[in-house]
Homo-oligomer: A and B are copies of this chain.
Amino acid sequence: MKALLHPTKTYCINGRVWLETDEGRFLGIGRLELLEHIAELGSISKAAQAMGMSYKRAWDLVSSMNAQAAAPLVSTQTGGTKGGGAVVTETGQAAVMAFKGLQSRFQEFMALEIQRLHA
């Protein structure tokens, strides 16, 4: 492969991995970031705002994840004095950990492949 590479250019390998079901995307890097923001901020609207995403989009992503998992990843409280918040459930925390593991092994895969490219 080395003969393919221009000596003055820098090459890298990039990529994306995601989990899906028959219903479409289930978990990917964007949804992971949304879960992490919800966990940090305790609110879907604040998480959406922090990510520059519309509330509707964030809500649709949460609905999609909740509908495709064994149990909801995010639980919401409507009303109350604080006007409703959102919590990442234990199942949601397990999803975050699992996807982070996959993402980190994928980074390792790409790092090995870039070495192979230059070998």
A interface vs B, CB < 8 Å? 1, 3-7, 9-23, 26, 68-71, 91, 94-95, 98, 102, 105-106, 109-110, 113, 117
With A105-B113, A109-B106, A113-B105 known as contacts, the answer to whether A13 contacts B17 (CB < 8 A) is yes
User: CA A5 – CA B17 in complex, angstroms?
Assistant: 18
**Copies assembled:** 2
Least Cβ–Cβ distance between A100 and chain B, in angstroms = 11
Residue of B nearest to A114 (CB): B19
Q: B6 and A68: CB pair below 8 A?
A: yes
Report 20 cross-chain contacts, Cβ distance below 8 Å, ordered by A residue. A3-B71, A3-B91, A4-B70, A4-B94, A4-B98, A6-B68, A6-B70, A9-B68, A11-B20, A11-B26, A12-B21, A13-B17, A13-B18, A13-B19, A13-B102, A14-B17, A15-B17, A17-B110, A17-B113, A102-B113
